[in-house]
Amino acid sequence: MRHDLKQCGGTEGRPVLGLSPEGKLWQRHNNGIWEELKFNEMYRGYYPPCSFTALECFDQGFIAAGLSEEDGYPCVFQSLLGGVWDQMSLVAASPVSGFWRASGRVNGILCDEATQQVFLLCGNGELVTLPDCPKCVRIKKVADVGILEGYIDGDALQLLLEKGERLRLPLREAVQFRISLDYARQQLAKGGILVDLRGVQGQQQAGEELEGSIALPPMELPDWLGSMAKESFIVFFCSYGINADEAAGYARSQGFVNAFSIGGIKKLFHVD
């Protein structure tokens, strides 16, 4: 019997997994016996060896975070049932800043079930958002000190910081409304709406468009949303992603819970 393990799982046919103070992953068998998963041995030569720092289980399965023993950077892995693990991207991209990688020790993992987005609480004050699309990782510095733990309280993240400080962060400032084009197409096939915020003139000037999209200048967005049902699945895009992201956020603030962005149609700005 292990009493020092942080345990999770055990529902929806999933096993019970545990995280030891030494940074090892364990699994409890039906007879109550615990066995180390020996993650580093299973994935030697495939994933970097890790010392794990956080483990949680959500609707989408297990998520385990650790520090690479090779370079000291964080690594995150996901597994539906705890048997096969896939590494998740921790690289964010920006047309201004380029590409950069999350660098803080992951002390806690949260998940907003409404948007199925995962939040990593890091020891360097970073909040890392992992949305549906691996291209759309978001890294945001929210505190000058480390984040120790936290929980979701309605429409906000409640974060406990070092030295006993607390921070309330609205979820709208943490979520990443971008999604992959593949996921968008699945929903659009069911009756969703694809909106090109460049407008007709912008489409004609660029000579690029996506089949099935409607052209809408950003200044017409409020009136257009006023004619739409709040449950509509709406996907925005533009040239470089800035207007599309802002439109998705604005639509969400108006009660459109299925509003998303696929970024910009220009190369490397997200739309594939």
Same domain for 169 and 209?
no
Burial class (CB in 10 A: 0-12, 13-18, 19+), 209: middle
In a domain, 24, yes or no: yes
Write down the pLDDT at residue 228.
Answer: 95
Write down the pLDDT at residue 85.
Answer: 97
The number of beta carbons lying within 10 Å of the beta carbon of residue 91 is: 12
Contacts of 16 (CB under 8 A, 6+ apart): 7, 8, 9, 10, 27, 28
Identity of residue 81: L
Q: Which domain holds residue 128?
A: 6-173
Sheet with 147-153: strands ordered across = 147-153, 156-161, 166-170
In a domain, 145, yes or no: yes
Same domain for 80 and 163?
yes
Q: What is the value of pTM for the model shown?
A: 0.81
Tally the domains of the chain: 2
Task: Out of 149, 173, 197, pick the residue that ends a domain.
Answer: 173
Same domain for 162 and 187?
no
Same domain for 132 and 110?
yes
Task: Out of 138, 173, 208, pick the residue that ends a domain.
Answer: 173
Q: How far apart are CA 241 and CA 244, in angstroms?
A: 5
Write down the pLDDT at residue 201.
Answer: 62
Write down the pLDDT at residue 67.
Answer: 98
Same domain for 158 and 27?
yes
Same domain for 158 and 54?
yes
Write down the pLDDT at residue 185.
Answer: 86
**Residue located via tokens 């993992």:** 109
Task: Out of 156, 173, 190, pick the residue that ends a domain.
Answer: 173
Cα distances from 223 to residues 85, 216, 217, 219, in angstroms, run 46, 11, 11, 9
In a domain, 272, yes or no: no
**Residue located via tokens 């096993």:** 15
Averaged pLDDT, groups of 10, the chain, 272 residues long: 85 92 94 92 95 94 96 96 94 78 96 86 97 84 96 94 94 84 85 87 60 88 94 91 89 89 77 58
Write down the pLDDT at residue 7.
Answer: 94
In a domain, 157, yes or no: yes
In a domain, 235, yes or no: yes
Same domain for 20 and 102?
yes
Same domain for 137 and 222?
no
Write down the pLDDT at residue 95.
Answer: 63
